[in-house]
Amino acid sequence: MFNNEGIHTDDGAICVAEKLAVEIATALTCLSLGDLQAIGDMRSGLTGLASQFVRALAVEAARPCLTKNDGGAGKLAVASTTDISSQSQCRGDLESMVIEDWAGRVAGATYLEENLRIPRSTLHRWHRRNEVVALRKGRQRHVFPLAQFVDGRPASGIPEVLSYISHPRLAWFWMLHPSPLLNGRVPIELLRQDMVGDVVSAAREYSRTS
């Protein structure tokens, strides 16, 4: 239902918004003053970030492979690493989804060359050597998640992760979400901090049990 201004007024949406607001407020209390100040300085971009967050949350909530089969309806969880059929389903789901709906910001070779100063030849070489995550978009085009780049280069450890999780979409999905094998930390954030050993070990364990 929408009001005269085109704003969604559905009671269910309002209820979800209220619950999210409480959870976000609680999480914010755990941040340092510096982090809170940094977030406050991002006012112009908060609307876009909020929209991306809600869309990503909706995508995860709809993923059958992310729901635990423990009777806990409505709980978000990382896919069980012991259920091979679940992993196959997850790969199929990711293939059928629009990349921007789950992978975060992505860009093609032209953008990377113009903005990150990465020559196309270098990008193609990284791709051939599995040094960068490339997601197929369409029949021939590839796009590259921007979160994997640090100072114009792929984060350390990506080749090792791809050696264990060879499917690019599944590998990036795994890198982008909190992992129970890393005590809830996000693999790509750790790679960006050069914490390669922990992430590679987790990727190895993930591949063994999936």
The pLDDT tens digits of the residues spanning 16-54 come to 666 676 567 656 666 666 666 666 666 555 665 665 566
Q: With cut-offs at 50, 70 and 90, classify the pLDDT of residue 91.
A: low
List beta partners, residue 185: 179
- Burial label for 51, CB within 10 Å (0-12, 13-18, 19+), is exposed
How does pLDDT run across 116-140, given as a tens digit for each residue?
999 999 999 999 999 999 999 877 7
In a domain, 110, yes or no: yes
- Please give the model's pTM, rounded to 2 decimal places: 0.59
Choose between 58 and 199: higher pLDDT: 199
Q: Please tell me the predicted confidence (pLDDT) of residue 26.
A: 59
Q: List the domain range (segments joined by +) for residue 180.
A: 81-209
Q: With cut-offs at 50, 70 and 90, classify the pLDDT of residue 6.
A: very low
In a domain, 9, yes or no: no
In the block, residue with structure tokens 């693999």: 187
CA angle 183, 188, 192 (to 5 degrees): 110
In a domain, 130, yes or no: yes
The total number of structural domains that make up the chain = 1
In a domain, 200, yes or no: yes
Q: With cut-offs at 50, 70 and 90, classify the pLDDT of residue 175.
A: very high
Beta-strand ranges (E) seen in 10-156 are 106-107, 135-137, 141-145, 149-150, 153-154
Q: How far apart are CA 105 and CA 145, in angstroms?
A: 6
- Work out the average pLDDT over 144-173: 96
In a domain, 180, yes or no: yes
In a domain, 62, yes or no: no
In a domain, 90, yes or no: yes
Q: At residue 156, does pLDDT exceed 90?
A: yes
- Other Cβ atoms closer than 10 A to 165: 21
In a domain, 109, yes or no: yes
Q: With cut-offs at 50, 70 and 90, classify the pLDDT of residue 174.
A: very high
Q: Please tell me the predicted confidence (pLDDT) of residue 30.
A: 63
Percent of the chain with pLDDT over 70: 55
Q: Please tell me the predicted confidence (pLDDT) of residue 145.
A: 96
